[in-house]
Amino acid sequence: MDKQEYDAIIIGGGIAGLQAAIQLGRSLRKVVVIDKGEGRSTLCRSYHNVLGYPNGISGEELRYIGRGQAEKVGVQFVLDEAVDAKRLQDGRFEVTGKLSGVYRCDELLIATGIADRLPEVPGLKPCLGKTIYICPDCDGYEVKNKSTVVIGSGGTGAGMAVSLLYFTDRVTLVNHVWEGGPAKAIPPELEQQLRAGGVDIVTGTIAEVVTKGDGEFQAVRLTDGRELAGERGFASFGGNTVNTKLFQLLGAERMESGHVVVEPRTQMTSVPGLFAAGDVAVHSEQLTIAMGNGQQAAIWIHKRLKERDKKRAGGSAANAAAAGAR
């Protein structure tokens, strides 16, 4: 099978990967983005804290805009899943797509993000980012003085409910019992804070999120028939997956949390030429930070490619001189 050659490959077409693609395309580099079309940014119906979008923007729309912007500067896109990656003896990288074959590059950026652990209940996903949120730093403001239902599990859900008391004193916590239960216990110190803040604590299994209209949260219905109404919701279950399989294959250093260790100035991992950007590397879970990571990684990838170009040019000149001397 023929190997498709590139200056750089980006695995992951989310916010970090797209920003890197735009920058590398503008640096006149031959780049391909391998993206399987999933990820957190495909689920969020509206980001509210992004400069320039005071009314919010959905992840899908931002991805659409970003892909078009990257394609205008020559970046290629492949809808596929990268299933294997290895570093070759010459220091370059080889990436295998599940459907599209084998790719080779000098520099590799992996921006595969994290996968949220959420229960599969009807009505939840259409509300994400619109009326049900997952990040209090991003969207705590959206529940200001509103009745808010937190759906979560154990200490993770309880911690979220406590944090939201900063924005509203009208909080209900549903401690969800996953299939196969029992319910996770809430640590005593958190339960004390919840009681002190007037938070109603309900234990049960969520059957569905009740909505009115398109993604407009109305209530949580439990399997025993109880309904817990609210104007907004938050979800916090813990156990999110950091998508680092390819980093493991390449031998990159990881933290105990599973996130990849990078050099802060360059976003390069412990493997020379291998970069990481976005939530897979930084436990911030912020769109704007992911965007900045992607930009930073791309700048340093271009710097390394310029050094490669100089070496190749020097080698070509030396070979030409040697040939002339003969």
- For residue 296, is pLDDT > 60? yes
For range 12-22, the mean pLDDT: 97
Q: What is the average pLDDT score of the chain?
A: 94
Closest Cα to residue 116, out of 240, 258, 290? 240
Angle at 240 between CA 237 and CA 241, to 5 degrees: 160
Which pLDDT value is given to residue 213? 85
Instruction: Read off the pLDDT of residues 37-87 as tens digits, 9 standing for 90 and up.
Output: 998 899 899 999 999 999 999 999 999 999 999 999 999 999 999 999 999
Q: Which residues of 206-242 are buried (b: 16+ CB within 10 A; e: fewer)?
A: bbebbbeeebebbbbbbeeeeebebbbbbbbbeebeb
Least confident of 22-26, 97-101, 180-184: 180-184
- For residue 182, is pLDDT > 90? no
The number of angstroms, rounded, from the C-alpha of 165 to the middle of its chain's C-alpha atoms is 27
Collapse the DSSP code of 79 into the 3-class scheme (helix H, G, I; strand E, B; otherwise coil) and give the result: strand
Could you tell me the pTM of the whole model?
0.92
- For residue 283, is pLDDT > 90? no
Instruction: Read off the pLDDT of residues 241-256 as tens digits, 9 standing for 90 and up.
Output: 999 999 999 999 999 8
Cis omega (within 30 of 0) on the bond before 182?
Answer: yes
